[in-house]
Amino acid sequence: MIFPIGDDQVQGGDRPIFSYSLIAANVVVFAVMFLMIPPESINGFYMTYGSIPSQIMSGHDWWTLGSSMFLHGGLMHLLGNMLFLWVFADNIEATIGPWKFLAFYLAGGLIAGIAHTLFNPGSIVPAVGASGAISAVLGAYLVMFPSSRIKVLILIIFTSASIPAFLFLGFWILQQTISGVGAISTVDLDTGGVAWWAHIGGFAFGFLSGFYFRTLLKRRVSEVDLLV
């Protein structure tokens, strides 16, 4: 398995307060869940606050599209998502500003949840996790910083490497798309597992948004050049 552990993109502009605040919020919610809620009640909590496609399609519990993006199914689920958010979010927020970034992140999570619902309309399994919103961050990063180099940890051979962002993220979305398309033809589409179409939907939203964000990046670079 390959995990991103950093990038070489020099952070400028606004301080990424919401990137780190979102990480803190997800960690706090996870800690409160597993410290305050009895183990026998956890499943019920997920059923209440997770996003259940069949319920949303019937016009109920639409608000869970928001609550579900702050829940995680386990420690590794949380750590994996927060690692990606930590590596990729800060430069986007520094470029577009904190409030635009927060709106973008939340919108990405909602659109990802809608995509998951539309492709799994009969599912009664609650979807949880920040990965849809984080996928939007990845899509925007690909457009804004395609030549940045991503430091990755390759667990299978216990080494690290540095690869271009367009290769890392291009392979990532290709893998998600192949898995998502493959899931459509399986009988298990509505029975749970990885929310491939949440990832794809979030990434597509972020990718398209990235073209607008890139104009902000170019404007910021031009302003720096004028100051110099």
What are 220's two structure tokens? Answer: 């910021």
- Provide, rounded to the nearest whole percent, the portion of the chain with pLDDT above 90: 77
DSSP string, 69-112: GG--SSHHHHHHHHHHHHHHHHHHHHHH-HHHHHHHHHHHHHHH
- Residue 9 is classified by DSSP as P
CATH of the domain at 180: 1.20.1540.10
> For residue 115, what are the domain limits?
2-227
Please state the pTM of the whole predicted model: 0.90
pLDDT of residue 13: 67
| Domains: count for the chain | 1
Query: Rounded to the nearest 5°, which phi and psi values hold at 117?
Result: -65, -45
Contact indicator for 121, 189 with CB cutoff of 8 Å? no
pLDDT of residue 187: 46
pLDDT of residue 228: 47
Q: Are strands 149-154 and 159-164 parallel, antiparallel or unpaired?
A: antiparallel
What are 227's two structure tokens? Answer: 């100051």
Would you tell me the crossing angle of helices 17-36 and 75-96 to the nearest 10 degrees?
Answer: 160
- pLDDT for 71-105, tens place per residue? 999 999 999 999 999 999 999 999 999 999 999 99
CB atoms within 10 A of CB 205: 25
pLDDT of residue 223: 56
Mean pLDDT of the chain: 90
Cα-Cα-Cα-Cα dihedral of 73, 3, 100, 199, to 10°?
A: -60
Mean pLDDT of 125-144: 97
More confident residue, 188 or 179: 179
DSSP string, 45-57: HHHHHSB-HHHHH
- pLDDT for 114-128, tens place per residue? 999 999 999 999 999
Checking if the pLDDT of 27 tops 90, the result is yes
pLDDT band at 225 (very low <50, low <70, confident <90, very high): very low
Minimum mean pLDDT among 6-10, 49-53, 125-129: which range? 6-10
Mean pLDDT of 57-65: 95
Checking if the pLDDT of 219 tops 80, the result is no
